[in-house]
Structure 1
Amino acid sequence: MTVSVCLIGAGPAGLAVARALRERNIDYTHLERHTDVGGLWDIENPGGPMYETAHFISSKTVSGFSGYPMPDAYPDYPGHRQILAYLQSFADAYGLSERIEFGVEVADVHRDGDGWVVVRADGSSTRHDAVIVCTGSQWFPNIPELPGSFTGEVRHSSNYRSPSEFVGKRVLVVGGGNSGCDIACDAARNADYTAISLRRGYWFIPKHVFGVPSDVFGGKGSFLPKRLERAILQPILRLFNGDPTRIGLQKPDHKLFETHPVINSMLLHHLQHGDLVARPGIESTDGRTVRFTDGSSDEFDLVLFATGYRHRIPVAQQYFGNEQHPDLYLNCFSREHPGLFGVGFIETNSGAYQLFDQQAHMIAGFLDDRGHNPARAEAFAQRISTDRPDLSNGLRFDASPRHTGYVDADAYVRFIRKLARTYGWSLTSPAPTQTPVQVSA
């Protein structure tokens, strides 16, 4: 029995899935609304969140797909153009691009008996046994309400592209995520005056520890219980960073690893040099004046919200449920709708590409079993609907919306490796048989 699959999206997650399907000779249709692969890493992709100074948060060492590591010539933290070049070469090396229908937008996905109907924007439709949605999670900005009556410019970071946009302005960046901290550093170097508003304190992890990327350094302790690893790393971070209140930051109100890690070496640098000022949360606005919860105030021309994104899945939201975090088994298998999958919606404390890769192989292995080993596929299908493993690794994650469904990467990988052994699935791919396209550094 053959299984027909529709794969939506040709960003990193979609490419990982395409390779896994192709390796198992699973029939699939691959649709991408843009004109090339890369997803959000293509700065020319309309509506994307990419900006000129963006770099990877995880290092190249732990970020490449299995069988296809990032080039040695790449820096530890590649820029967005290098990431795009890597994804394009990955697609070419495994013969994925030739299977993609570019410039095709999906208007709707709906259930039809035992299968799924995918409706394109031109009105045509196709029927499939399974649909794998890889549309990404950074296309729908989360924009909070700004209290009061601010008369300056208000934007979300999704519309930010270049540091030149800050020249001659007084800028307030709101949000302490990785993008917010990076953009605040851009503003610190280019604006007339820059402040960053953080409602709470955070743990700031430098990009390098003892000369090596911090995720490589941290990975050496991943075999330890998470609480013991934290007990070792928290004092090291305090030693490296010092007292955050000296530079206007609040002390963290949580333990390390309980929120998404902020990997940034330059924010503290700019705060220490006076290029950037730290402020607490916003209390009110009046004209160009922003008042903060500590009673201080400043004048600003631009308030830029770096407040994240909703995990909205427009092509099939009614089947995925919660916009903030779809309730998917292992963050990729629909619990309620057989044949529906999503890759690229996992929230965790590590780099994403290797997890996308392993999720792709799990899905492909399951679909392959549907065609060739129905009894094993049915056994796993039962597991999808009932199994709710604890993937916290003993951590108590923050109660914020972003951390709903959050998983610890070490616990996640251990669990899915155990599943793979049980069901006989490989979670990795070999190197390509053809010579890879050279990617420039």
Structure 2
Amino acid sequence: MTTRKRPSGSGGPASTSDRYLVIGAGPAGLALAAAFRRRSISFDLVDRHHAIGGLWDRENPGTPLYDSAHFISSRTMSAFAGFPMPARYPDYPGHRLILDYLREFAAHHDVHEHFTGGRAVTSARPEPSGGWAVSFSDGRSHRYAGLAVATGRQWTPRRPEWPGAFDGELIHARDYDGPGRLRGRRVLVVGGGNSGVDIACDAATAAVETRLSLRRGYHVIPKYVLGRPADVFAAQSPPLPAWLRQAVMRRLLRLLAGRPEDYGLPAPDHRIFESHPILNDRILHHLGHGDVTAVPDVVALEGPEIRFTDDSTWRPDLVIQATGYRVDFPFLPPGLVGAGAGTPDLYLHVLDRRRPDLFFLGLFETDAGAFPLLSRQADLVASAVLTHRLGGPAARLLAVRKQLRPNLSGGVRHLDSPRHRAYADQRVYRRELERAHRELEALRAGGDPSRWRDH
């Protein structure tokens, strides 16, 4: 058990030779905290919010959660390694149950004794001699041996730059809380991600009229396939080459629900899995019943009206931009691993390629539940910390390994977009994370480094 050392409140940063700082007490930070505890790595866990939970705690200012938010992967496939979700949970738990699960996980691993809430990191700068000088919002500062950034991807909205101005109410999906603000209004939802479709389904039953604006077509995958959650069905199916898997799923979806364009949606301009699908077949129900109408992309704001790419216009009361989020690390120096300019270029989306004391967790997109992969990321970080401490050949080989760029696509050519630059096929990604972790452990145990270098 680690003895907590509180940061100093006066003078320069308090020093430590071996303690790591984990920033963010959401799923990624908790996964790493558990891994650090298992490996007896000293650490502090901090969060600008006062309680554990990250974006899954709706009390936290800025969370993108809304009343109807549920997991889009099933509980069977979405748990941390070694810590299954309770059998009493439904197939697709809501946000309250997920928050309960996260706090039970934290309690199980005794994370609370390392946690300080209500303390934001205002600055983290690498020291010339190694380690990090970190300043906090309470005026304290501390030196850490390493930094693990687990602040997540969904806090800073990405807003489209439309010409003109809108006379009605315009918000980002991050500021949407539930159907209450939709009642009696004409609502335009912009964006085909799962949040946008969820909000459009809320509006279908609450608003006077709802339109869903999409810039491209998407494939729609039902949450249940042949009576099983879609991800369970996929996991229980035999592994297939990407092209065959795409062909089989396309045919299956055609049989189950027809084509997206049969419901007034634009035809997808890509093959299935090349972009994120819509995991919500409720939208097909509402489109088929006229509760939601699909419209093209927005091109301009014209006072009380919105103009679309087909030159049609509409006069909504409320526009909700479900247009995603951008990765942002305001506490890191500009230019460090591309901080503030997009998803960093990292080995396996985790290890910084230049610094052995800097790690990121949760900065990926995948076609399955994230929590199991966060567990594997955390194991890799813990092994990398211990390998670096060995120094000598082990540390040098780790530095070589971090320059490799394994193909994580699973044979699928994803669309070129900010979101898909961090996309990974979950089976391939899990395999690569586990292999890198095993090889680091073997290297630390005195294994043959020659075979490890060749991958």
Q: Give the deviation of 1:192 after TM superposition.
A: 0.5
Q: 2:349 corresponds to which residue?
A: 331
Aligned counterparts, 1:17-166, within 5 A: 17-113=32-128, 114-166=130-182
Q: 1:299 corresponds to which residue?
A: 315
Q: Measure, in 2, the Cα distance between the counterparts of 1:327 and 1:40.
A: 24
Contact 2:179 2:206 in 1 (8 A): yes
Determine helix, strand or coil for the equivalent of 2:300. strand
Q: 1:360 corresponds to which residue?
A: 378
Q: 2:29 corresponds to which residue?
A: 14
Q: Measure, in 2, the Cα distance between the counterparts of 1:222 and 1:50.
A: 35
Q: Give the deviation of 1:242 after TM superposition.
A: 1.2
- Could you say if the C-alpha distance between residues 304 and 275 of structure 1 is closer, same or farther in structure 2, counting changes exceeding 3 Å? same
- Could you say if the C-alpha distance between residues 167 and 274 of structure 1 is closer, same or farther in structure 2, counting changes exceeding 3 Å? same
Q: Give the deviation of 1:402 after TM superposition.
A: 1.4
Q: Give the deviation of 1:372 after TM superposition.
A: 4.7
Contact 2:379 2:437 in 1 (8 A): no
Contact 1:143 1:307 in 2 (8 A): yes
TM-score by length of 1: 0.93
Q: Measure, in 2, the Cα distance between the counterparts of 1:313 and 1:268.
A: 37
Q: 2:406 corresponds to which residue?
A: 389
Q: Measure, in 1, the Cα distance between the counterparts of 2:262 and 2:219.
A: 15
The number of equivalent residue pairs is 425
Determine helix, strand or coil for the equivalent of 1:382. helix
Contact 2:125 2:333 in 1 (8 A): no
2:237 to 205, 221, 235: 221
Q: Give the deviation of 1:147 after TM superposition.
A: 3.0
1:201 to 204, 217, 221: 217
Q: Measure, in 2, the Cα distance between the counterparts of 1:145 and 1:23.
A: 47
Q: Measure, in 1, the Cα distance between the counterparts of 2:49 and 2:306.
A: 39
Deviates more, 1:56-65 or 1:244-253: 244-253
Q: What letter matches 1:404 in structure 2?
A: R
Q: Give the deviation of 1:149 after TM superposition.
A: 3.1
Contact 2:31 2:378 in 1 (8 A): yes
Q: 1:437 corresponds to which residue?
A: none
Deviates more, 1:84-93 or 1:98-107: 98-107
Q: Give the deviation of 1:222 after TM superposition.
A: 6.1
TM-score by length of 2: 0.90
Q: 1:321 corresponds to which residue?
A: 338
Structure 1 position 280 matched with structure 2 position 319 = no
Q: Give the deviation of 1:236 after TM superposition.
A: 0.7
Q: What letter matches 2:184 in structure 1?
A: G
Q: Measure, in 2, the Cα distance between the counterparts of 1:126 and 1:118.
A: 5
Determine helix, strand or coil for the equivalent of 1:399. coil
1:124-166 deviation per Cα after TM superposition (whole angstroms, max 9, x unaligned)? 2111121001111111000112333321111100001011110
Deviates more, 1:166-175 or 1:31-40: 31-40
Contact 1:247 1:271 in 2 (8 A): yes
Overall identity of the aligned pairs, in %: 46
Determine helix, strand or coil for the equivalent of 1:189. helix
1:79-136 deviation per Cα after TM superposition (whole angstroms, max 9, x unaligned)? 0000000001110111111210111111010010211111111232111121001111
Q: 2:365 corresponds to which residue?
A: 347
Deviates more, 1:5-14 or 1:331-340: 331-340
Deviates more, 1:80-89 or 1:417-426: 417-426
Q: Give the deviation of 1:249 after TM superposition.
A: 0.6
Q: Measure, in 2, the Cα distance between the counterparts of 1:342 and 1:317.
A: 15
Q: 1:429 corresponds to which residue?
A: none
Q: Give the deviation of 1:421 after TM superposition.
A: 2.9
Q: Give the deviation of 1:317 after TM superposition.
A: 5.5
1:22-79 deviation per Cα after TM superposition (whole angstroms, max 9, x unaligned)? 0000111111111111100000001111111100111101111111100111011100
Moved over 4 A (4+): none
Determine helix, strand or coil for the equivalent of 1:117. strand
Q: Measure, in 1, the Cα distance between the counterparts of 2:387 and 2:17.
A: 10
Q: 1:432 corresponds to which residue?
A: none
Contact 1:221 1:229 in 2 (8 A): no
- Could you say if the C-alpha distance between residues 2 and 124 of structure 1 is closer, same or farther in structure 2, counting changes exceeding 3 Å? closer
Q: 2:13 corresponds to which residue?
A: none
- Could you say if the C-alpha distance between residues 382 and 243 of structure 1 is closer, same or farther in structure 2, counting changes exceeding 3 Å? closer
- The alignment's C-alpha RMSD in Å is 1.8
Query: Could you say which structure has the greater relative contact order, defined with CA pairs below 8 angstroms and 6 or more residues apart?
Result: 1
Q: 1:380 corresponds to which residue?
A: 398
Q: What letter matches 1:331 in structure 2?
A: H
Q: Give the deviation of 1:407 after TM superposition.
A: 1.8
Deviates more, 1:177-186 or 1:110-119: 110-119
Contact 2:54 2:60 in 1 (8 A): yes
1:310-345 deviation per Cα after TM superposition (whole angstroms, max 9, x unaligned)? 011222253231532111110011112221101011
Q: Measure, in 2, the Cα distance between the counterparts of 1:425 and 1:266.
A: 48
Q: Give the deviation of 1:2 after TM superposition.
A: 7.0
